[in-house]
Structure 1
Amino acid sequence: MFFKLVSYFIGYVTIIVTGKAPEKFINMAASRGIYLWDISRTGDNAFFLKVRLQAIKPLRHIARRTGCRYSIKSRRGLPFSIVKVRRRKALALGFIFFLGTLYFLSSFVWFIEVKGNERLTTAEVLYAAADSGLSRGVPKWKIKPEQMEARILERLPLVTWTGVYINGTRVTIEVAERVVPEEEDRRPSHIVASKAGLIKEVLVLNGNPLIKEGDTVAPGQVLISGEIPPLLEEPANQGEDKKPMEPPKVLRPAYYVHARGIVRARVWYEAYGEARIIESGYRLTGRSEKRVSLKYNSKEIILLNNEDIPFEHYEIETSVKKLPQWRNLDLPVELVTVKYLELVGYCDERSREDTCKAAGEAALDTVMKQLPRDAIVQGKWLKDVSANYDENVVRVKAVLETIEDIGKEKLFKP
């Protein structure tokens, strides 16, 4: 990183070396202390490389001795940028004005973020902050965090602590609310199965269990009922010569509760993954070019790298920075940075064993995304389910067995 920064300030060029022995040219330059980088072959007797500006003259003698020739394809660095700016003074003045405006606008608060609020709404916290003198468009030098924190605490009794932090043009307000004990939910509810499984353990805290260990349950099935059946008096033994047995006496009528408990079960998940034996496509080489431009309405002024992209295949990453809106003034000025990432084609062939392993990893990655956080994995199995062993695609099925709590609350009306 430091070397590239120094090279940018000194200036460097991209050249193409051609001749009968370009390797000899490169070796002789390296032996004389001339640093070359990003060396790549562009043909049988041609190399593409970068070198600092101060080394161009010494390379002439090396080229004569080795019978090679070189031509400059592009120029980069601060010296070349200064030359361009001297030719376009209006652009330089506009850029200086842009930086000055950007620095001036960065002295104000444009974004206010609220963190830590759960029962309080963000609007309530922002309203209390505005009463304390903190709002969008306020100069940063007028903000006194300690005083604003105290005023926010006075206006929001539900808040026990608050902090005001300034980071650039963004102010973050962190609050800690008072802990209020919640009332117990007494509405009638069942504990039902959220998914199919084989019951492993049942812990009832409140309610009537309808399943036991070893039972198989389906999604939506009631596991712990919120309906408590009536308590009946046990009938007494009566002989054959006595009157018919009377209905049992109800000692306690049926009632309804908010069922609570833990139901752990064995649950199975499955997913499929596939991979190709012969895989082709494009991958990044690590080389890139950057172009920076200033956009005003429909006009665009290129500030850095006005040349054609030297890559045949590439990806584009675009970053746009815009001036923040100041009151009702919205300046249509954008700083656009476009990064071109070089791609090179590839075609890889691997063994069926390696392909099966890659497909199994893809299947496991897919099935792991289905698991809840509290799931405990008990076992996993992989199986090759390819329909035809002669085709290019290998398919693998992954099965995971877990132990997890499958119960969820479901309200009901008696």
Structure 2
Amino acid sequence: MFLKILNYLDGYVTITLPEECLEKFVNMATTRGIYLWGITNAAGNQVALNARLRDVQPLRHVARMTRCRFHIINRSGLPFFIGKLRRRRALLGGALCFVIALYALSSFIWFIDITGNQSVTEDKIARVAREAGLYRGAPKRSLDTAELEKTIMQQVNDLAWVGVSVDGTRVLIKVVEKVLPPDNGEHPVDIVALKDGLIKEILVLSGHPLVREGDTVTSGQVLISALIPPPEIEEESKPNAAEGEAEKEQQLTLQYVHARGIVRARIWYDVYNEIKLEEQVTKPTGSEITKLCMKIGGKEIILMGPHQVPYVHYTEHRDVKRLPEWRNIKVPVEVITVKYTEQGTYTNKLSRSEARRLAETQALDELRSQMPSGAKILNTQVREVKTAGEEDIVRVRVQVETLEEIGMEKPHQQDGGGSGIVDPKHGNQADGNQNNH
């Protein structure tokens, strides 16, 4: 491998000479330290061999001494390539201009990627970066990554960390958003029912329960209220009026908390499904064809593929690639790849038992998609819906009973199911406390 590279850098020629002169020619050249290789048969009574460019002149003396004549049929290597370039100055100038243009374009930013954001939009981060000097076409030498990170952090309040890195003509902005701490209970929150059901278990950690085990609740009904009522007053004796009024004011003070608890209820799901015994279905046949076209403005030019789709029934998948914008200039050129997949029509026939199993499976899958991940199935009933006459349709109804958590937090509202306590002297005590909050 090293010898091939060395021969290419030095340059070499391929010569032909008569076959009867080969032995004397090679022996005399070898004794003079001339390296020959690649000896092969040529047209007629000739042989071809390779020699370095610097050995051509000594080989002429060898040819005269052996009374042989050789002819150069091919020239290879770097010296000959440079000689061709010297004669083709336009090509050399074009290559030089291309290298200069490529170097110049590589000194600008052409791609900007933003990763790590979820709630903060890319447009907001890109707008702040643009104001700080980062945009498509910006020179890389004017980009200060540390200053850009600081600017984005200061102007986008929802970010906890920003990292900017440059990779060639691409800038990658990595961000980490702030994670807000959980609600510490400063604002009143009720536990409401997520769906209809029959209360099976209730465990109150904080707040005032408004339902008990065995109660039927509807979606949105308050289960545990954030409003804790004052304790009931048992008047065993009648103190003086001033002390009694003060004690009553103290005990009628309402308290608002962040309601917490676990409420499990029995939930019923009901799904109906039907399957035909004979049905026309379509599925891919395995045949597909691809068309490649270029769209310039409103004109579409087909570069590869058919002009008309050869399938009667087919699906179409398009992949459109556009040139990136440069300084808000959109280049109206698109490369479109369209893949057509042939679809065949088939008749799917099922027996009644197969259709029933399929209908049950589909109904159960639909029910599972409606259930939360922690739901516990207590009972499942499957029955076939019969009709008066024979039909080519199998109908089933699936009913499932589950035990699941139905509590959901919701901000407390004055009319959202509180304790309903009213102080005859001060009016609605709950409203007054709520306004104070």
Same fold by TM-score greater than 0.5? yes
- Structure 1 residue 355: Cα displacement: 0.7
Question: C-alpha deviations, 1:172-215, integer Å up to 9, x for none?
Answer: 53322455645634344432222111212212122111222232
Q: CA deviation at 1:363?
A: 1.4
- Flag the 1:407–1:170 CA change in 2: closer, same or farther, 3 A: farther
1:123-178 deviation line (CA, Å, top 9, x unaligned): 65335534664323446x6698xx62674146526654334467998755332245
Task: Specify the alignment match of 2:207 in structure 1.
Answer: 207
Answer yes or no: is the 8 Å Cα contact 2:281–2:348 preserved in 1: no
Cα distance, 1:268–1:173 mapped onto 2, change above 3 Å: farther
The residue matched to 2:366 in structure 1 has which SS?
helix
Q: Would you say the 8 A contact 2:149–2:163 is kept in 1?
A: no
Distance 1:321 1:215 in 2: 60
2:153 aligned residue: 156
Residue 272 of structure 1: aligned partner: 272
User: CA offset at residue 281 of structure 1?
Assistant: 3.0
Cα distance between partner residues in 2 of 1:264 and 1:310: 59
Aligned to 1:412: 413
Compute the displacement of 1:317 (Å). 2.0
Output aligned runs, 1:175-254, within 5 Å: 175-178=175-178, 181=181, 184-236=184-236, 250=248, 252-254=251-253
Greater fraction strand: 1
Q: Does 1:345 align with 2:342?
A: no
Distance change (3 Å), C-alpha of 1:292 and 1:178: closer
How many Å apart are 1:394 and its aligned residue?
1.8
Structure 1 gaps, min length 5: 1-99, 239-245
Distance 1:386 1:169 in 2: 69
CA distance in 2, matches of 1:169, 1:370: 48
Distance of 2:124 and 2:187 partners within structure 1: 31
Change (3 A) 1:386 1:232: same
SS at match of 2:362: helix
Tell whether the 8 Å contact from 1:277 to 1:352 is kept in structure 2 after alignment: yes
**Cα distance, 1:329–1:189 mapped onto 2, change above 3 Å:** closer
The runs of 5 or more residues in structure 2 that have no matched partner are 1-100, 239-243, 415-430, 432-437
The CA deviation string for residues 252-293 of structure 1, in whole angstroms up to 9 with x for no partner, is 114141322221212122222222110113221111111111
Q: Is the 8 A contact 1:113 1:170 kept in 2?
A: no
Name 1:303's counterpart in structure 2.
303
Which protein shows a greater Rg? 2
Answer yes or no: is 1:115 the counterpart of 2:112: no
How much does 1:395 deviate? Answer: 2.1
Cα separation, partners in 2 of 1:138 and 1:151, compared to 1, 3 Å: closer
* Contact 1:198–1:215 under 8 Å retained in 2: yes
> Does the C-alpha gap of structure 1 residues 253 and 168 become closer, same or farther in structure 2, counting only changes over 3 Å?
farther
Give the Å deviation of 1:352. 0.7
Equivalent position amino acid for 2:256 in 1: V
Q: Deviations over 1:319-347 (max 9, x none)?
A: 22222222243222121222221122211
Counterpart of 1:257? 256
In the aligned structure 2, how far is the partner of 1:356 from the partner of 1:202?
39
Deviation digits for residues 61-104 of structure 1 (CA, Å, limit 9, x no counterpart): xxxxxxxxxxxxxxxxxxxxxxxxxxxxxxxxxxxxxxx99xx8
Q: After the TM superposition, which residues 44-59 of structure 1 pair with which residues of structure 2 at under 5 Å, given as runs?
A: none
In 1: Cα distance, 2:351 partner to 2:168 partner: 54
Per the alignment, residue 136 of structure 1 pairs with 136
Q: CA, structure 1 residues 389+317, in 2 after alignment: closer, same or farther (shift >3 Å)?
A: farther
Aligned length: 301
Q: CA deviation at 1:351?
A: 0.6
1:372 match: secondary structure? coil
Counterpart CA distance in 1 for 2:394 and 2:125 is 56
